[in-house]
Amino acid sequence: MELLQSDAAALQDLMEVRRLLEPMATALAATRITDAQLTEVKGHLDAMREARDDVERLYAHDAAFHRAVVAATGNETLLTLLECVSGRTLRARIWRGRADDQSAGRTLAEHEAIQRALSTRDATLSQAAALLHVSTTERWLNEHLRANGPLVSTAPPQRLRSDAADVAPGPRGTGPRGTGPG
């Protein structure tokens, strides 16, 4: 995979799909999440706090946080759909972390709001917190594309470090987060 999604329109489409699905999934998770799953979500949030100054690690744990939330729905199809969408937008979120020095603090605050809402098992509050989070990222992307054009990196394509793979292994012996071998 390229460092960043090269087709700006496709990336915007993916962010739109994420905005449409992820808040509803978070609302559903609030009604089904177990205490053990809440502990897992909080563990990913704690790991994000520890990785605040390392953009790649922060967003690897960010992805694990979202996977844990959607996994709490118990809906494997929804989990697979959102992992596909989220995985294809991860590079853009890392780019945001590098281009916007305030993004780590905002990202953490938004994830804390999601985790707090989930811990109250309030579906409406959880949905709202997730919608705010995804919409903030989508808005940044759209503003960046309007002002600067496509996301471009001078670095050669690289594979994202898989720190979160250790904390969010994929199902049935597949690769990290169910993406296939290795």
161 lies in some domain: no
Using the Cα atoms of residue 139, residue 143, residue 146 and residue 151 in order, give the sign of their dihedral: negative
Give the global pTM. Answer: 0.78
38 lies in some domain: yes
162 lies in some domain: no
Contact between 23 and 113 (Cβ < 8 Å): no
Give how many domains the chain has, as a whole number: 1
Q: Which residues make Cβ contacts (< 8 Å) with residue 45, sequence separation at least 6?
A: 65, 108, 111, 112, 115
154 lies in some domain: no
Instruction: Give the domain extent around 94.
Output: 8-146
What is the per-residue pLDDT across 12-53, written as a single tens digit (0 to 9) for each?
A: 999 999 999 999 999 999 999 999 999 999 999 999 999 999
How much is the pLDDT for 9? 86
1 lies in some domain: no
Q: DSSP 3-state helix, strand, coil percentages of the chain (rounded to 5)?
A: 75, 0, 25
If pLDDT is split at 50, 70 and 90, which confidence band does 57 have?
A: very high
pLDDT (average), residues 147-166: 49
Question: Is a pLDDT exceeding 90 seen at residue 101?
Answer: no
Relative orientation angle of helices 103-120 and 76-99, to the nearest 10 degrees: 150
89 lies in some domain: yes
163 lies in some domain: no
pLDDT (average), residues 78-99: 86
170 lies in some domain: no
The more confidently predicted of residues 60 and 92 is 60
d(CA 96, CA 106): 11
Helix (H, G, I), strand (E, B) or coil at 92: helix
Angle value at C-alpha 123, between 121 and 127, nearest 5 degrees: 125
The more confidently predicted of residues 172 and 73 is 73
> Tokens 């390392």 — which residue?
54
